[in-house]
Structure 1
Amino acid sequence: MTQLQFNLDFEKIKDEVMQSDLNDVVKSSIVILFNQYMETERDQYMKTSSYERDEDRIDYRNGYYERELILSVGRLALKVPRTRSGEFATEIFEKYKRCDKSFLLSMLEMVVNGVSTRKVTKIVEQLCGEKVSKSMVSELTKKLDPVVKEWAERPLNLQYYNYIFVDAMYIKVREYHKVVSKAVYIALGVNSQDRREIIGFKVTNKESTEGWNEFFESLKARGLQSPKLVISDAHEGLKAAIKKSFLNTSWQRCTVHFLRNIVKEMPKKESKEARDHLKEIFRASTIDISRMLKNEFIEKYEDDKKYTKAIETLDAGYEDAIQFYEEDKDTHIHIRSTNVLERLNSEVRRREQVIRIFPNVNSAFRLIGAVLMDCEETMDNGNKKFIYRKKE
C-alpha cells in the first residue's frame, strides 16, 4: 500500500491564521485539515486504508469520538478516530500542547510584567474567543515556583562580589484576613568582571537587625564571601547586621540619602548655595579635595544657628559616606550611592502596584522573584559592564 505522508507545520498554520480575519470558513478549514491529519495517522497505524482487506492488519476501525481543542485562534470541534483495541492515539493534541505552549508563556509573561489577572483574562478572551478564569491564571503563575526557587537558591561561590548594594522595600500582604506590611530585602552584587547580579531577596515581617542578619547568613550559606564594600542607607538594624556578618568589609553610606538627611536640617529658603556646596563635597575627584570642601562648609556656616544641626549631621556621618574613595576612581560614581538598587526597586514597585495586595507571602515571593529574574536578564548582558575601568 502506498503510504501517504501528511506533515503539518503547526507554527506556520498558527501564524497564518493569526494574521488572517478569523471567521467560520477559516475555522472550518482548520477542522477539516486536523480531522484529515488524524485519519491519516490511524491509516498509518493500521497499515491499511478504509475498506481494505489485509490478513496482516493489526486492528479494526471503530468510528470516532468528539473532542474539543482550544487554540489561540478559538475553539475547534474535532472528530477523533479510534480503534477497537483502543491502542491507537493521535499525536495532534500533544503537538497542540507544544505549539501553544508559547501562548501560555505569553500569559505568564503578562502577569510578570504587571498586567492584572483581570486584564489577562480579557486579553485571552479577545484572542481565543474563550473565557479563562482568574483561578487558571493564578494556577499558571504557580509554575514559576520551582524556577524562582532554583534561581533564588543558586550557589554564590562561583564568583567574588567586590561590591554589594542592599535595601528594603515594603509591600502589602493579606494575612489571617488582615492586610499587613511586609519588608522585601534585595541584594545586588557587582562581581569581579564588573557585572551586576541580583544575588538574593527575601520577604520578611519587618526590617530589623535580626532580619538582616538572617538574610546575610542565607547569602553566606550559599557561598557569598565578604565583599570590599557594602553600600546601603543608614538604617540602624542594617548597619549592625553588616558589621556582624561581614568581617573586614567597609560600609559605604549612600551619599544621596545622607545629603537628604543634612538638607532636612537646613533652612528651606535661601540655602541653594549651601546645598550646592554640599553636593560638591561628595563629587570631588579626590578624598583630599572632599575633606577641604567639607571643612570650608563648616567654617562658612558654623556661626549661623540655622545650620548647627546640619553641620552636626555632616560631621557625624561624613567618614562613612566617603569610603568609596578607597576604590578605583572609575568606580566612584557607581558605588557612592544606592541609586542602582533604587532603580531596581522602582521596577519591582511598578509591577507590584498592579496587584496592590498580595494574597499571601508565597505569591509575593513568586512574583517579585520573577520580576527580579526578568530584570537581571537585561542587566549587563552581552559585552556590557556596570563599571568600565580605564586602561592605564
Structure 2
Amino acid sequence: MQQMYGIEVSPDFVSTVTDAVIDEVREWQQRPLEAMYPVVFFDALRVKVRDEGTVKNKAIYLALGVRRDGTRDVLGLWIEQTEGAKFWLRVVNELKLRGVQDTLIAVVDGLKGFPEAINTVFPETTVQTCIVHLIRNSLDFASWKERKQVAAELKEVYRAPSAEAAALALQAFDDGPWGCKYPPIAALWRRVWEQVTAFFAFAPDIRKIIYTTNSIESLHMHLRKIIKARGHFPTDEAALKLVWLALRNVIAKWTSSRHDWKSAMTQFALLYPVRFTDIVSLFGAPFPLCVESRLRWETRAPTHADDVRRGFCRLAIRGAEFALSFRRKHRGHPPREV
C-alpha cells in the first residue's frame, strides 16, 4: 500500500482485513451445493509460492459447474498439496459432503488420478478429456506458421459424426503430411483416446459445450492477469486469498446462461431422463434443502464485515491491475526520481 499509493496502514488493520477475507473464503468453500451438475470443468492455474525458502510452482485447481438452467457456478478452489488419486478423492468427497450427488460429465485436462477418484465417488460420471486443451497441447509440437493448418486438420477428428469416423480421421491425419512431420500429435490423442471417444456419444449441442470452453477460458484469463501482477506469493493461503478476491469480482458479473443452452438441455433430458429431470425423486430431500441453503447464503443481508471485504476486494483488484499496467508501461525504464 505504501509503495503503490503512498498510504500507510497499520499491521493490525491489514491483519483484520485479511482475516475477514479468509473467513469469507472458508464460508464460500463450505457452502452447500446443488445435487446435480450436468457438466463440471476441472482446470488448473499455475502460481509461484515460497515454500521452505524456495519459490515453487504450484497449481490452484478450480471446479466450474454448469447448473441445470445453464448458469455457471465455481464450486471450489484447492491448492495442490499432493499429486494423484488421493488428492482428487479428497476433492470429490468434499463436493459430495457439500451436497453434490451426481455430475453427468466431468471435463478434465489429463489430471493424474482424477478418473479413478471421481468414478469411485460418482461411478456413473463420464470423464471427458478437454478437447480445447488437447488441441492446444497438440499445437505445441507444430511451428507457429503451421499451427493454423494443423488445427484445421484436427478439427476433422473432433467434429466427426461418430467415434469410428473420428478414429478414421485421426488415422488419416497420422498418415498425412502433418502426421508424418509431427508424429507425437497422433500419439498424444491415442494415449487419451478412451476419454476422447466418450465425447461422440453426445449430440452436437452437448459436444459444443464441451469443446467450446469460453467460460473457463475467460475466467482464467482474468485470474492470470492478477497472478502475473503479483509475481510470487509468500504462502499458499496468500495465493488463495488473492485468487478468491479476483474470482469474486468475476462471479458478480455472471447473470445468464449460454445462449444455446436450451437445445443442450433438451438433449440432456433425452440422454439422462432420470438423472437430469427427476432429481428430487432420485436423491430425495437433500436437493431442495441444498438449493434452499444456497439461496439463503447468496441472498443473506449484507453485514459490516461484508462491506469491509467488498472494499478490500475492490482495492486489492485495482491495486494488482494498476501494478500490472505500470510494469508494462515502464518495462525497461528506471523509475523516475521525484
TM bin, normalised by shorter chain, reads 0.5 to 0.7
Alignment of 1:40-189 (within 5 A): 117-118=1-2, 121-122=5-6, 125=7, 131-133=8-10, 136-156=13-33, 158-189=34-65
Query: Offset at 1:251?
Result: 1.2
Show the counterpart of 1:6: none
Distance 1:386 1:200 in 2: 25
Contact 2:42–2:106 under 8 Å retained in 1: yes
The whole-number CA distance in structure 2 between the counterparts of 1:251 and 1:121 is 48
* Alignment match, 2:192: 317
Kindly report the root-mean-square deviation, in angstroms, between the aligned alpha carbons of the 2 structures: 3.3
Q: Percent same amino acid at aligned positions? A: 27
Higher Cα Rg, which structure: 1
Amino acid at match of 2:80: T
Aligned to 1:355: 230
Alpha-carbon deviations, 1:142-171, whole Å to 9, x = none?
Answer: 222222211110112x34101110022232
Structure 2 residue matching 1:389: 3-state secondary structure: helix
Residue 307 and residue 259 in structure 1: after superposition, are their counterparts in 2 closer, same or farther (change >3 A)?
same
Q: Which moved more, 1:239-248 or 1:209-218?
A: 239-248
Opposite residue 242 of structure 1, the aligned amino acid is I
Decide which of 178, 186, 193 is 2:69's aligned counterpart: 193
Match of 2:262, as an amino acid?
A: R
CA deviation profile, 1:84-113 (whole Å, cap 9, x unmatched)? xxxxxxxxxxxxxxxxxxxxxxxxxxxxxx
Structure 1 residues 147, 120: CA separation in 2 closer, same or farther (over 3 Å shift)?
A: farther
The question of 1:365 aligning with 2:245 is answered no
Pairing 1:340–2:215 present: yes
How much has 1:313 moved relative to structure 2?
3.1
Specify the SS of the correspondent of 2:242: helix
Q: Is the 8 A contact 1:173 1:361 kept in 2?
A: yes
TM-score (norm 2): 0.66
Structure 1: state its 5+ residue gaps. Answer: 1-116, 126-130
Q: Which structure's residues are more often helix, by fraction?
A: 2
The gaps in structure 2 that reach 5 residues or longer are 268-338
Give the whole-Å Cα distance in 1 for the aligned partners of 2:247 and 2:60. Answer: 12
Q: State how far apart, in whole Å, the 2-side matches of 1:197 and 1:261 are.
A: 27
Query: Distance in 1 between the 2:3 and 2:260 partners?
Result: 40
Deviations 1:18-72 (A, max 9, x none): xxxxxxxxxxxxxxxxxxxxxxxxxxxxxxxxxxxxxxxxxxxxxxxxxxxxxxx
Shift of 1:265: 5.1
Q: 1:203 aligns with which of 73, 79, 82?
A: 79
Q: Is the 8 A contact 1:231 1:336 kept in 2?
A: no
